[in-house]
Structure 1
């Protein structure tokens, strides 16, 4: 007897979503009926590459890029495909109620935190920024409300000392290892556990100016921000009118001085006092320029930056 495949709709936009879709496509247990992804945007932060990945699949699977899933056009098109489950990975917009109700078993969302902590747009970055030692994946039932649905399964992972790229790759691998089994479980009637909403925290969207180093912060806080924002917006400080990105940043010592004052600037690094110690920056990037190491940084700015100067 031929076993019926599980019919899946998929909604996602960045590469991390495409990786999940690729995993599902490898299985002979699933049939992907359609793909929803965000409309093409101007090139930036890898978006054009990600869109092209999904577009390649349009030769064999319908790919829709609706600007508004609430439109009659979107509902008419998508509702014509009968699916057992909609799998959502970083789609980028709220899923309307009609689409939540459309699949037989609802919508499975992959969220990159241990819910109810870090609901929202930037769970990995905010967990790193706050110095969390533990994070993970939550496979949840998507409902109205921001990441408030019941959770089918959680997977924990140690993220201590890791930057965004490392955490993203770690959690991606954990999720890819479980996505197929979780889809099977949900379509077999697995129960989901309600979240404790009183314990919820939120991971707000990151704004560019958050990357600016506040020298009044602690060494640990500055280092965590550097690790969290290594992809975007990156951490930066000002040298005169120029925004300088810190590309390699360390906690140097616990020596106390005036926050923002240059402790030393030499061929080894730029060292700056913060609230409870000294931060060392070993490579930087000036606007429109390539990343340069500490020696080139010193040689190019030794007449502008001196010991005792205050950085803002």
Structure 2
């Protein structure tokens, strides 16, 4: 049976960034009760390296919800504190701290996780980015019963969506932040009648973390892959290449037909729409870039001020 409206769940929420805060807000707006919130300890941020609370902490304090910020759950004190809350379920969204088995087993109905992919595809740290990077047509959110593995638990509910052709990790993140919260509430509303589905291990793959090294543009890759990289690595770590002794970031590109047959990395055209670079079957047009110490800007405005920066025949990366 589903959980009746007269018996809302007592929920402990664990999360850290804005993505998690949107799910927490959905719980506040639901008929269930958030009895406590866990989030990572305040971290230094900004030029002054001032300790800043997470988005989840800011929201929880505005709702007068008790907030706990342990470094981990290895101590008996941290474990007993959670047990004393007598939660029906713990909801975990982008928390960033590993939960040991004793914690997973503490709430009455265990711990649920909202994961930004259609599991078992893209388990791990960067599912949103890797879906774009790999050229996936669809993604979504999975509400999962947590176990000791890395995103290996039984799936209770999934919601899917098509990945827009021009999606970046930033925009897809926002799309999933809208898709996930109602899916979470739907799961909680029907928790006792949902049938957990075991993940197919043969279909599983891992979404490894991104790195600045991986974001360096390799002009030997085909244009489609480079275009996906630019979108996947936006807003971090941002694709980049070295030209005339400076590191230039690439924020937006287009794939265009290749008629030149020029050597890889060669600039074949420069106009107000961008800088066209030869990368194989198709060419890659650099549309929005960022010079060191400057803000991202359309290429044509940069060329107006620096006409010698990009010229036809130059080979990028030399």
Q: Same fold (TM over 0.5)?
A: yes
**Mapped partners of 1:111, 1:299: distance in 2:** 45
C-alpha contact (below 8 Å) 1:132/1:160 kept by paired residues: no
**Mapped partners of 1:144, 1:231: distance in 2:** 31
1:43-58 matches, within 5 Å, as: 43=45, 51-58=54-61
* Counterpart for residue 71 of structure 1: 75
**Mapped partners of 1:200, 1:163: distance in 2:** 23
Indicate how the Cα distance of structure 1 residues 181 and 200 shifts in structure 2: closer, same or farther if over 3 A, else same: same
* Counterpart for residue 41 of structure 2: 39
**Mapped partners of 2:7, 2:274: distance in 1:** 62
1:132-281 matches, within 5 Å, as: 132-161=136-165, 162-186=167-191, 188-255=192-259, 256-281=261-286
Quick check: 258-267 or 206-215, which moved more?
258-267
**Alpha-carbon displacement from aligned partner over 1:97-133 (angstroms, at most 9, x marks no partner):** 1110000001111111111110000001101111100
**Mapped partners of 1:77, 1:283: distance in 2:** 50
**Mapped partners of 1:19, 1:195: distance in 2:** 26
1:90-101 matches, within 5 Å, as: 90-101=94-105
**Structure 1 residue runs of 4+, over 6 Å off?**
47-50
* Counterpart for residue 310 of structure 2: 305
C-alpha contact (below 8 Å) 1:55/1:63 kept by paired residues: no
C-alpha contact (below 8 Å) 1:38/1:65 kept by paired residues: yes
TM-score (norm 1): 0.92
Indicate how the Cα distance of structure 1 residues 239 and 93 shifts in structure 2: closer, same or farther if over 3 A, else same: same
TM-score (norm 2): 0.90
C-alpha contact (below 8 Å) 1:163/1:227 kept by paired residues: yes
* Counterpart for residue 5 of structure 1: 8
**Mapped partners of 1:292, 1:2: distance in 2:** 52
**Alpha-carbon displacement from aligned partner over 1:178-197 (angstroms, at most 9, x marks no partner):** 221201222x2532011111
Indicate how the Cα distance of structure 1 residues 25 and 96 shifts in structure 2: closer, same or farther if over 3 A, else same: same
Root mean square deviation of aligned Cα:
2.1
**Mapped partners of 2:67, 2:114: distance in 1:** 20
> 1:160 Cα shift?
4.1
Query: What secondary structure is seen at the aligned counterpart in 1 of 2:44?
Result: coil
